[in-house]
């Protein structure tokens, strides 16, 4: 193990990790927003919007992220639309993640019994009150585990961003391996970087899930 190599190039991983986290967070937040809109459109059976959401979910879930990135980075310029690598990463992550988030939110919304909704309406509650006090709290508790899993999944999916020349963690690792052939050291730092990013989030989500389960019981 070449310690000098690790010490020399570790700062590159730190910079790449910062970029990975920023793009991962922005993409995940946008994915959650898109997923929530799609879930609401399907839950309330909004005309047109419901069909658009269904088509989008099927298209997103049945195409790999790397294909979506290639379309954004290499395909759109043919139509005169040029996006930076960072923009492609954010849009690709949001496009892919939105479909998974939609299914998570929709499962939570559907978990609320119709009897509760009918009882609330019979008491004179408006739709806004019904959503705020009955649907959202219960749906959130049900959705949290799958939403947390989706967040971790999307953060790990950032590893394919190097395919569109984005200087993320994987890009740095492949670059160093190609130049110096220190495969073991480069991959060790890559694994360590992803563990440092994802492990605390995983632990935090596990604690949140346990608290929600206790609250429901």
Q: Structural domain boundaries of the chain?
A: 3-216
Q: Nearest Cα to 43, choosing from 120, 129, 118, 102?
A: 102
Within the chain, where are the H helices?
A: 3-43, 49-61, 65-70, 85-110, 114-122, 127-130, 136-157, 169-180, 183-216
Q: What confidence tier does 145 reach under pLDDT thresholds 50, 70, 90?
A: confident
Task: Write down the mean pLDDT value for the chain.
Answer: 87
pLDDT tens-digit map of 155-189: 999 889 888 888 888 989 999 988 888 889 999 99
Q: Which tokens go with 134?
A: 């009955």
Max Cα-Cα span within the chain = 72
CA dihedral 171, 177, 180, 182 (to 10 degrees): 130
66 compared with 145, residue with greater pLDDT: 66
CATH number 1.20.58.100 given to 3-216: no
Count of CA atoms in the C-beta half-sphere (13 A) of 131: 6
Contact (Cβ atoms closer than 8 angstroms) between residue 57 and residue 38: yes
Q: What confidence tier does 34 reach under pLDDT thresholds 50, 70, 90?
A: very high
Check residue 207 and give its pLDDT: 86
Q: Which tokens go with 6?
A: 């690790």
Say whether pLDDT at 54 is over 90.
Answer: yes
Say whether pLDDT at 216 is over 70.
Answer: no
Say whether pLDDT at 53 is over 70.
Answer: yes
């Amino acid at each position: 193990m070449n310690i000098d190599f690790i010490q020399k190039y570790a700062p590159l991983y730190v910079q790449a990790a910062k970029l990975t986290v920023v793009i991962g967070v922005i993409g995940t937040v946008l994915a959650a927003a898109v997923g929530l809109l799609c879930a609401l459109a399907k839950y309330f059976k909004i005309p047109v919007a419901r069909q658009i959401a269904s088509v989008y979910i099927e298209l997103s879930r049945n195409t790999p992220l790397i294909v979506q990135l290639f379309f954004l980075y290499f395909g759109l310029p043919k139509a005169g639309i040029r996006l930076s690598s960072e923009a492609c990463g954010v849009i690709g992550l949001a496009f892919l993640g939105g479909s998974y988030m939609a299914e998570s939110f929709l499962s939570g919304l559907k978990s609320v019994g119709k009897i509760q909704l009918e009882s609330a309406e019979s008491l004179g509650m408006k739709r806004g009150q019904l959503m705020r006090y009955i649907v959202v709290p219960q749906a959130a508790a049900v959705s949290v585990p799958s939403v947390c899993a989706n967040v971790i999944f999307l953060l790990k999916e950032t590893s394919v961003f190097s395919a569109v020349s984005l200087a993320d963690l994987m890009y740095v690792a492949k670059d160093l391996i190609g130049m110096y052939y220190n495969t073991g050291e480069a991959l060790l730092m890559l694994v360590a970087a992803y563990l440092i990013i994802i492990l605390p989030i995983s632990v935090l989500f596990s604690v949140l899930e346990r608290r929600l389960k206790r609250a429901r019981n």
